[in-house]
Amino acid sequence: MIKAIETILIDIPTIRPHKLSVATMSTQTLVLVQIQTDDGYSGWGEATTIGGLKYGDESPESVAVNIRQHIAPLLLQQDERQVGALMYRLRKNIRGNRFAKCALETALLDIQAQRLSVPMSELLGGRLRDSVPVLWTLASGDTVKDIDEAQMMLDLRRHNSFKLKIGLNSIQHDVNHVLAIKKALGADVSIRVDVNQAWSELQATTAIQQLQDGGIDLIEQPLKAENRAGMARLAQRFSVAIMADETLNGPQDAWEVARLNAADVFAVKIAQSGGLTQAKELGTIARLAGISLYGGTMLEGAVGTMASAQLFATFDELEFGTELFGPLLLKQDILAEPLQYRDFALQLPTTPGLGLALDLDKIAAWRRPA
Ligand code: MUC
Ligand code: MG
């Protein structure tokens, strides 16, 4: 029986300013959710977002309030083993709040998998791989610093693909920045860009032509999330892959985007999708529609990152890899044993549940006062 549900906010500085077109991050607020049962199980989930309300429509604080006031009462005293029935209850009674639902579903699945003594991936269809490739995002805002950072990651064998956050500056400034980095790193290093909705269709057409000619591999969410017709025109016009991110807020969106041919690739994010089961449905829609997959992030800490990895490990194909580097962007981690990043990939544990050893003392010391 579910005995307690708690939301914990932890503010952690980033290792350097992280510049997106919608926000510059110098700290990240981890939003952790813990579910405890009367027979001693504890499950964790995460509802972290980017830039307060600048990226998504749930803030860390709104997640905490909505769980406490509206969502936890639907789950407390219920049988945590009935994960499907509980999530159905939330779908029926709670509009939106996809990040909060994701955190709760993750915590329930963590408990269920611990109870059954299997890794969480086995409740999500079963894992096909024990590691997932992880790229690094270059977003210092400075071309020379970005090249140095990429070179360091290559030397460490930590990342060999890079995503550049653009859209904050003029089109030509951004295109020059990207092409200078591509030229410095060479043909074997995959470079992708994330525009985070910053361009008009006209701007996108000018920029993508140059990026495609310069050997860039992927263009992520160049247009506003609402402009799917425009995304479809770009996908039709260019051979470089066009990826949907912010326009995908669950399976219904995935279905529409697929139907409109508005993307070549889906960025699957567990929180943006409303949870692991719905994110799995995005993967299925992509597979049926012939759309490639990429494992996205909301720059979560270890819990959301590992939950995502547990799902992405079950996809038949993960053609564009993942960006599950969130914990590496933070100055501190909340784990007793660090995540294993090596050989350009995040390694998945084979231990039951999420497979993480959280450091409860660090969490208690760093959490925001309730
Ligand atoms: C996004 O839009 O994909 C992922 C990596 C990163 O740097 O920002 C995020 C969000
Ligand atoms: Mg994105």
* 19 annotated active-site: no
Q: Would 280 be classed as within a structural domain?
A: yes
Read off the pLDDT of each residue in 186-193 and give the average, rounded to a whole number: 96
pLDDT of residue 141: 85
Task: Note whether 322 and 245 are same-domain residues.
Answer: yes
**What's the pLDDT tens digit per position in 72-105?**
999 999 999 999 999 999 999 999 999 999 999 9
State the residue range of the domain holding 102. Answer: 2-117+358-366
Provide the residue count of the chain: 370
CA 105 vs CA 78, 126, 128, 226: distances in Å = 14, 17, 22, 28
* 323 annotated active-site: yes
Number of domains into which the chain is organized: 2
CATH at residue 163: 3.20.20.120
Q: Would 353 be classed as within a structural domain?
A: no
Sequence-ordered strand ranges (E) for the chain: 2-19, 24-37, 42-46, 131-133, 136-138, 161-165, 190-194, 218-220, 241-244, 265-268, 292-295, 341-342, 345-347
Residue 269 — very low, low, confident or very high, per pLDDT cuts 50/70/90?
very high
- Rounded to the nearest angstrom, the distance between the alpha carbon of 310 and the centre of ligand 2 is 20
Q: Would 13 be classed as within a structural domain?
A: yes
Residue 138 — very low, low, confident or very high, per pLDDT cuts 50/70/90?
very high
pLDDT over 90 percentage in the chain: 99
The structure tokens 């970005």 sit at 146
| Best probe residue, ligand 1, of 14, 220, 299 (max atoms within 8 Å of C-beta) | 299
Read off the pLDDT of each residue in 341-366 and give the average, rounded to a whole number: 97
pLDDT of residue 310: 99
Read off the pLDDT of each residue in 170-185 and give the average, rounded to a whole number: 97
**What's the pLDDT tens digit per position in 250-262?**
999 999 999 999 9
Active-site hit among 165, 182, 269, 280: 165
- Rounded to the nearest angstrom, the distance between the alpha carbon of 297 and the centre of ligand 1 is 6
Read off the pLDDT of each residue in 149-176 and give the average, rounded to a whole number: 96
> Does residue 62 surpass a pLDDT of 90?
yes
Task: Note whether 71 and 134 are same-domain residues.
Answer: no
Task: Note whether 137 and 105 are same-domain residues.
Answer: no
Task: Note whether 201 and 320 are same-domain residues.
Answer: yes
Note whether 273 and 102 are within 8 A (CB): yes
pLDDT of residue 242: 98
Task: Note whether 307 and 262 are same-domain residues.
Answer: yes
Non-local (6+) Cβ contacts of 65 within 8 A are: none
Task: Note whether 225 and 328 are same-domain residues.
Answer: yes
| Best probe residue, ligand 1, of 16, 28, 50, 305 (max atoms within 8 Å of C-beta) | 50
Read off the pLDDT of each residue in 305-320 and give the average, rounded to a whole number: 98
Task: Note whether 194 and 129 are same-domain residues.
Answer: yes
- Rounded to the nearest angstrom, the distance between the alpha carbon of 82 and the centre of ligand 1 is 33
Q: Would 352 be classed as within a structural domain?
A: no
ipTM beyond cut 0.85: yes
The response to whether residue 137 sits with its C-beta less than 6 Å from ligand 1 reads: yes
Q: Would 331 be classed as within a structural domain?
A: yes
Task: Note whether 339 and 222 are same-domain residues.
Answer: yes
CATH at residue 87: 3.30.390.10
> Does residue 292 surpass a pLDDT of 90?
yes
Task: Note whether 128 and 255 are same-domain residues.
Answer: yes
> Does residue 215 surpass a pLDDT of 90?
yes
> Does residue 370 surpass a pLDDT of 80?
no
Task: Note whether 30 and 152 are same-domain residues.
Answer: no
Ligand nearest to the CA of 55: 1
Task: Note whether 169 and 301 are same-domain residues.
Answer: yes
The response to whether residue 299 sits with its C-beta less than 6 Å from ligand 1 reads: yes
- Rounded to the nearest angstrom, the distance between the alpha carbon of 186 and the centre of ligand 2 is 24
pLDDT of residue 163: 98
Task: Note whether 342 and 275 are same-domain residues.
Answer: yes
